[in-house]
Amino acid sequence: MDIWETLYEKAKAEYHPEEVSPFITAHHVVCAIEAENGEIFTGFCIEGCSGVINLCAERVAALDMYMHSGQTVVKRLIAFRDQPPTEGSGGIPCGACREFFMQLSERNKNMKIMIDYANRKTVTLNELLPIWWGKERYEQNKS
């Protein structure tokens, strides 16, 4: 079993769409991430009808990682609904998630994001955000 299959199986275990209340749904998008030290963390989306409380599976997984380990660097990420991602169908984090990962650690620009599970095709966060507004702030923080 390769790391991507492990991540897929961990995320898949979180997939069980449900209504939490008449206003909130959860578990219809799932995610697994591999942290810098190799630990795996999972997350699922939770969405409310007002839109204000929505959290994507990717951010929930990252928050799980930080809460339980203090880590901020992600090596690999897989996210999907009921099927593994295929090129052109899911797997790519939304803009808010991309931004969150970049703000969490500059090194997340190198994280691999699965976009075609069957062919093991990935992209990096840097490919999705080639010109990121916050790079200068990281540079200033180094000096």
How confident is the model over 3-29, as pLDDT tens digits?
999 999 999 999 999 999 999 999 999
Dist CA 135 CA 53 (whole Å): 28
pLDDT in tens, 82-131: 999 997 777 899 999 999 999 999 999 999 999 999 999 999 999 999 99
pTM: 0.93
Dist CA 127 CA 143 (whole Å): 26
139 has pLDDT over 90: no
Structure tokens at 131: 């010109």
Structural domains of the chain ordered from first start: 3-142 (3.40.140.10)
Average pLDDT over residues 68-94: 92
* 49 secondary structure, DSSP code: T
43 has pLDDT over 90: yes
> 51 vs 134, which has greater pLDDT?
134
Listed in sequence order, the DSSP H helices in the chain are 3-12, 57-69, 95-104, 125-128, 135-142
Average pLDDT over residues 25-43: 97
Cβ distance 92 to 123 under 8 Å? yes
Strand, helix or coil for residue 106: helix
Helix axes 57-69, 95-104, angle to 10 degrees: 20
Dist CA 34 CA 8 (whole Å): 11
Exposed / middle / buried, residue 35 (Cβ in 10 Å: 0-12, 13-18, 19+): buried
